[in-house]
Amino acid sequence: MKIGIGLPTSIPGRGGDGVVEWALRAEGAGFSSLGVVDRVAYDAWEPLVSLAAAAAVTQRVRLASMVMIGPLHNTALLARQAATVDLISEGRLTLGLGIGARHDDYLASGVDPAQRGERLTEQLARLRDHWEDTTVGPVPFQSGGPDLLVGGASGGALLRMARLADGYVHGGGPARSFASAALRVRTAWEDVDRPGAPQLWAQAYFGLGNPDLGDAYLRDYYAFTGAFAEKVVAANLRNPLEVRDYIRSYDEAGCENLVLLPTVAELDEVDRLAEVVSQVRL
Amino acid sequence: MKIGVVGAGPSGLYFSLLMARTGTHDVTVFERNPRGATYGWGVVFSEGTLAELAEVDYLTYLDLERSLVRWSAIDIRHHNSTIRSHGHGFSAISRHTLLRVLEDRAEELGVRVNFETEVSATDLGSGFDLVVAADGVNSELRSHHRRAFRPSLHEHPTRYIWLGAPFAFDAFTFVFAPTPAGLFQAHAYPYDADGSTFIVETTEETWQRSGMNDANEDESVAFCSKLFADHLDGNSLRSNRSLWNRFVTVRTRHWYSLEAGGPPLVLMGDAAHTAHFSIGSGTKLAMEDAAGLYQALNAHPENLRLALAEYEGERQPPVARFQEAARDSARYFEFVGHHLLLDPATFAFNLLTRSGRVTHLDMERRDPSLTISADRLVAGIDAGEVVPPPSLTAVNVGGLDLPNRLVADFGDGTGEGLLLTPTVAVDNVGRSHLGSAVAGSDGSRYSTNGRAVGVVIGHAGARASTRPPGDGLDRPLREGGWEPIACSAIPYSPAHRVPRSMSDDDMTTVIAAFGTAAAWARDLGFALLVVDAARGGLLAGFLSPITNQRSDRFGGDVNARSRFPLEVFEAARENWRGPVAVRLSVTDWIRGGISLEDSIAIASGFAAAGASLVEVVGGGTVAEAEPGYRRGYLISVAAEVRQRVGVAVLVGGGITSRDEADTAIAAGRADLIRIDPYRYRRPLTR
């Protein structure tokens, strides 16, 4: 299993220099990918612009959105943006898309949330069309365009994933729930008789240096979910032992890419996490 | 903390005594009924639950332990035969004793239990730091705060009545009793030295035909006593305000609320969730909830929010798993009549593995002798010979000998008995994409190397003319595309071209193309011909009421919708030597799609037309649907097809191990199994 780290783009208080430096340090520390999350109605940076900045200062690390709220975007423009990041990074973009969890984000963007599932389905198909055809430019670096990941584990979301994307991003929680989602992901892939096999990605939050600060951030970021916020807080990986156990359990459950998202924007968090990760033998 | 508990059932009392035991909490219980007024007979615990109870409060455990009855056998009685299966390890206790033990212990620890005290949601306004709603399946607190808890209630279609027998069965006993009105079954188990719970269940139709819908309590008891007289040693069944009911499964999205307008409110036991009685886990889950809430509150004494989040987070997943198993078990008993024609040993194995929680491997450990009997029946091997695991036994399908019962895709696999090609289009119009294999082309890519290879032939119908599937399915070709043909002029998705509704000439062409394709495949030496009538292709388009809107003789009821696919099937069969199979989507995963009864009728039609094997798949009829993906999600429908149509079935879907394959085959649910193909594949990353 490969291990990536999130960029602190959605944590209030991060600085411009900080995020770029974070990307550099993360690549230097050997993380396999840099992940970004997406929220509109919050003090958070735009994911693809952030990944473009990271792309400019890194050479090797994969750049992943986990996940962007697809239906908020005009598909042709999203295809261009993603293709551009893919070109800047020379083929390192993995584009994760979902419908998001917040109506606020739709309201703030002036987009009607009705039928967002169907719109995401259409968007997935159209993105590929744009990348393969030449009407809308540029042509991405990766042939056929970046890999597409989709979040959401309902039957409909999994069907969409299996028909039109390259893999699945899990939203967090214990490895056991990931394992049961992964089974259903593969079942969906088999059901639609798609060639190949789905990629399996997952994510979790960590806060090592000052976990209480991290908890407070999560409580704020997930305030819109009501009681669910406490669940997210309870799952925050607050010490090296929890991080190691989590990594091992996800590896055993068959995850291929685990991205650990920061809850505290201090640069030292990159080194702290790298230190812990270096001690895990998979 | 000052805690109010509503309901003095097992979970309410157990939670109260655990909290009181810490010496730092003040606990008051409110119970509407008088002391000692209990409904129901006995409750079952597993060894795992007892171990947990022992760990949480040893003294209570000791008190309970003294009153437990333990047994390890399950009897399955039908066709005048009894099969006894060993090694299952149950314990039970009378509900009355359980409550008495818990009451005594709670009161000894200083819990105030107020019997005959009705409290409403508004009474509990202030004075408590936490209110626990342990007020049962009809929880008033849950209904009052339904916006916060988001409960959903599902009523099961069968009828059941909760009775008692005045003696102890020496095993968990299932009795299947056919009557002129239909089948009744009893679930019976002992709870003390001279009492057993005796639940009688039947379908709604049988219940009405038997006249039980008009029966009062006494008449119902008399009817059941007479029906099961052979199993009651001359005793009559007993009633305790027993009536025929339909079981209600309760699920709640949230188990606690901080915004109930008063103190924080938390759900426990049946108030939060119920699980069908046929897996006997209601009280077990309720008491585990009590222990879970106590442990979470103990772990976070200063942070109630976190404690409640942890309680919910810890308890919801195992409860959801039990509810899923209970749903499978409940559904099993709805249709159990269809499995009664199986050999008794196979039927016993089938019954014991119904909920998906017990597999062939578990059965080998628990009851090797029953397992070997079931395995022998699969293999057709006499006693004294070594019996291979069911999935590795040889089988003959329509004259084709296969070395084992596992199936893989051509190109994958390590020794599976049958390999299937991707669908080969019968002609150019029927290709899904430009790279699709077409019948009549060079067949050398399918070198069989002496193994049994089945060729799948089909026509993509409305799903034709798309880009290659590696980068996503159903993305129509912009240039170089062609006009698809289909049953009705309905595009597969908004992006697809509207297909031409097939004319008589189109039908003639397609029938001929299937015949020619079969002849081509025959000459290449394939062992099995599979006609693909699934997943939204041309033939599937006729079968589903969603995609078939024809008003000619090929549209309408299920027989009319099957007419053209059957004509095609027969044309293919005429040009083939050997067995022919059909691949069918048995559900469309959307409202108004193919029903189970439709699927049975369709499969029967193909079996009558000479199909030796039905491959059961699901969906693909329309682009957007809500499939119910989970482990082995198509197996129960496959079993229905197998039993009711009397045809061999191949099924896959969420089956990841040979153990699951062995389980399904030994239980008579399927003949051939396709195990998760991704064992052999790695994702294609750019």
Q: What is the DSSP string of B100-116?
A: HHHHHHHHHTT-EEETT
Whole-angstrom CA distances from B672 to A159, B167, B340, B582 are 25, 44, 21, 14
In chain A, what is the straight-line distance between the N-terminal and C-terminal CA atoms, in Å? 8
From chain B, the residues in CB contact with A227 under 8 A are 254, 256-258, 308-309, 312
From chain A, the residues in CB contact with B686 under 8 A are 91, 142-144, 146-147
Which of A91, A187, A233 is closest, CB to CB, to B653?
Answer: A187
Q: Answer yes or no: are the C-beta atoms of B66 and B50 closer than 8 Å.
A: no
From chain A, the residues in CB contact with B685 under 8 A are 147, 166, 199
Tens-place pLDDT, residues A143-177: 999 999 999 889 999 999 999 999 999 999 899 89
Q: Can you tell me the mean pLDDT for B260-264?
A: 83
Quick one: pLDDT at residue B54? 94
Q: Can you tell me the mean pLDDT for A229-244?
A: 92
Interacting residues of B592 by C-beta distance below 8 A, sequence separation 6+: B545, B546
Query: How many interchain CB pairs under 8 A, A with B?
Result: 145
Of the candidates B337, B401, B373, B353, the one whose C-alpha atom is nearest the C-alpha of residue B669 is B353
Interacting residues of B398 by C-beta distance below 8 A, sequence separation 6+: B578, B579, B580, B581, B612, B613, B648
Dihedral angle at the C-alpha atoms of B281, B285, B286, B292, nearest 10 degrees? 170
Domain boundaries, position A236: 2-278
Which of A146, A164, A180 is closest, CB to CB, to B472?
Answer: A164
Mutate to test the interface with B, among A183, A190, A201 (most CBs of B within 10 A): A190
From chain A, the residues in CB contact with B627 under 8 A are 155-156, 158-159, 188, 191
Q: Check CB contact under 8 Å for B308 and A118.
A: no
Q: To the nearest whole angstrom, how far is the Cα of A163 from the nearest Cα of chain B?
A: 5
**Residue B381 — φ and ψ, nearest 5°?**
-110, 140
Which of A117, A195, A234 is closest, CB to CB, to B470?
Answer: A195
From chain A, the residues in CB contact with B305 under 8 A are 230
Q: Check CB contact under 8 Å for B633 and A147.
A: no
Tens-place pLDDT, residues B57-70: 999 999 999 999 99
Both structure tokens of B386: 């070594």
Both structure tokens of B538: 């041309």
To the nearest whole percent, how much of chain B has pLDDT over 70?
99
- Note the residue count of chain B: 686
Q: Check CB contact under 8 Å for B654 and A184.
A: yes
Report the alpha-carbon distance of residue B588 to residue B592 in Å, rounded.
9
Q: To the nearest whole angstrom, how far is the Cα of B338 from the nearest Cα of chain A?
A: 27
CATH number, residue A165: 3.20.20.30
Quick one: pLDDT at residue B341? 87
Q: Check CB contact under 8 Å for A159 and B495.
A: no
Of the candidates B243, B181, B183, the one whose C-alpha atom is nearest the C-alpha of residue B209 is B181
Q: Can you tell me the mean pLDDT for B557-572?
A: 98
From chain A, the residues in CB contact with B625 under 8 A are 155-156, 159
Tens-place pLDDT, residues B208-220: 999 999 999 999 9
Of the candidates B565, B563, B586, B556, the one whose C-alpha atom is nearest the C-alpha of residue B647 is B586
Q: H helices of chain A, where?
A: 16-28, 47-57, 75-88, 103-109, 116-132, 155-164, 175-191, 211-221, 228-235, 240-252, 268-278
Q: To the nearest whole angstrom, how far is the Cα of B686 from the nearest Cα of chain A?
A: 7
Q: Check CB contact under 8 Å for A155 and B254.
A: no
Question: Which CATH number applies to B2-68+94-151+251-334?
Answer: 3.50.50.60
Q: Check CB contact under 8 Å for B312 and A233.
A: no
pLDDT averaged over chain B? 93
Tens-place pLDDT, residues B368-399: 999 999 999 999 987 778 899 999 999 999 99
Whole-angstrom CA distances from B354 to B72, B83, B407 are 18, 16, 23
Q: To the nearest whole angstrom, how far is the Cα of B628 from the nearest Cα of chain A?
A: 6
Report the alpha-carbon distance of residue A115 to residue B340 in Å, rounded.
46
Quick one: pLDDT at residue B683? 59
Q: Check CB contact under 8 Å for B472 and A227.
A: no
Q: Check CB contact under 8 Å for A118 and B624.
A: yes
Tens-place pLDDT, residues B416-449: 999 999 999 999 999 999 999 999 987 777 777 7
Quick one: pLDDT at residue B682? 63
Residue A93 has pLDDT above 90, yes or no: yes
Residue B607 has pLDDT above 80, yes or no: yes
Q: Check CB contact under 8 Å for A199 and B683.
A: yes
Q: How confident is the model at residue B123 (pLDDT cuts 50, 70, 90)?
A: confident
- B479: closest chain A residue by CA: A133
Q: To the nearest whole angstrom, how far is the Cα of B623 from the nearest Cα of chain A?
A: 9
Residue A265 has pLDDT above 60, yes or no: yes
Q: Can you tell me the mean pLDDT for B467-476?
A: 90
Quick one: pLDDT at residue B313? 85
Common-topology check for domains B2-68+94-151+251-334 and B157-246 = no
Q: Answer yes or no: are the C-beta atoms of A58 and A29 closer than 8 Å.
A: no
Q: Check CB contact under 8 Å for A183 and B470.
A: no
Mutate to test the interface with B, among A134, A159, A225 (most CBs of B within 10 A): A159
Q: How confident is the model at residue B681 (pLDDT cuts 50, 70, 90)?
A: low
Q: Check CB contact under 8 Å for A133 and B631.
A: no
Which of A147, A183, A184 is closest, CB to CB, to B685?
Answer: A147
- B627: closest chain A residue by CA: A155
Q: To the nearest whole angstrom, how far is the Cα of A233 from the nearest Cα of chain B?
A: 8
Q: Answer yes or no: are the C-beta atoms of B457 and B575 closer than 8 Å.
A: no
* Top-tier CATH class for B394-679: alpha beta
From chain A, the residues in CB contact with B678 under 8 A are 186, 189-190, 197-198
From chain B, the residues in CB contact with A167 under 8 A are 683
- B495: closest chain A residue by CA: A122
Q: Check CB contact under 8 Å for B535 and A192.
A: yes
Quick one: pLDDT at residue B686? 42
Q: Can you tell me the mean pLDDT for B340-348?
A: 92
User: What would the DSSP string read from start to end of A83-99?
Assistant: HHHHHHTTS-EEEEEE-
Q: Can you tell me the mean pLDDT for B103-120?
A: 94
Q: Check CB contact under 8 Å for A190 and B677.
A: yes
Q: Check CB contact under 8 Å for A163 and B623.
A: yes
To the nearest whole percent, how much of chain A has pLDDT over 70?
100
Quick one: pLDDT at residue B122? 72
* Top-tier CATH class for B157-246: alpha beta
Annotated domain spans of chain B: 2-68+94-151+251-334, 157-246, 394-679
Which of B469, B494, B633 is closest, CB to CB, to A195?
Answer: B469
- A183: closest chain B residue by CA: B654
Quick one: pLDDT at residue A100? 87
Of the candidates B645, B19, B639, the one whose C-alpha atom is nearest the C-alpha of residue B295 is B19
B508, containing H or E segment: helix B504-523
Mutate to test the interface with A, among B257, B655, B685 (most CBs of A within 10 A): B685
> Using the 8-state DSSP alphabet, how is residue A36 labeled?
E
CB atoms within 10 A of CB B213: 11
Amino acid at A233: V
From chain A, the residues in CB contact with B319 under 8 A are none
Whole-angstrom CA distances from B415 to B241, B402, B451, B456, B504 are 59, 11, 9, 20, 44
Q: Can you tell me the mean pLDDT for A30-49?
A: 96
Q: To the nearest whole angstrom, how far is the Cα of A183 from the nearest Cα of chain B?
A: 6
Report the alpha-carbon distance of residue B612 to residue B564 in Å, rounded.
19
Q: Check CB contact under 8 Å for A159 and B624.
A: yes
Tens-place pLDDT, residues A68-91: 999 999 999 999 999 999 999 999
Interacting residues of B566 by C-beta distance below 8 A, sequence separation 6+: B605, B606, B609
Of the candidates A209, A230, A208, the one whose C-alpha atom is nearest the C-alpha of residue A218 is A230
> Using the 8-state DSSP alphabet, how is residue A68 labeled?
E
B408, containing H or E segment: strand B406-409
Whole-angstrom CA distances from A186 to A95, A256, B586, B636 are 20, 13, 20, 19
Region of poorest pLDDT, from A109-113, B359-363, B398-402: A109-113
From chain A, the residues in CB contact with B473 under 8 A are 163-164, 192, 194
User: How many domains would you assign to chain A?
Assistant: 1
- A185: closest chain B residue by CA: B629
Quick one: pLDDT at residue B126? 73
Q: Check CB contact under 8 Å for B627 and A159.
A: yes
Q: Check CB contact under 8 Å for B625 and A164.
A: no
From chain A, the residues in CB contact with B308 under 8 A are 227, 230
Angle at B638 between CA B634 and CA B642, to 5 degrees: 175
| Burial of residue B133, with CB atoms counted within 10 A of its CB: 0-12 exposed, 13-18 middle, 19 or more buried | buried
Q: Check CB contact under 8 Å for B309 and A233.
A: yes
In chain B, what is the straight-line distance between the N-terminal and C-terminal CA atoms, in Å? 58
Mutate to test the interface with A, among B434, B477, B496, B678 (most CBs of A within 10 A): B678
From chain A, the residues in CB contact with B432 under 8 A are none
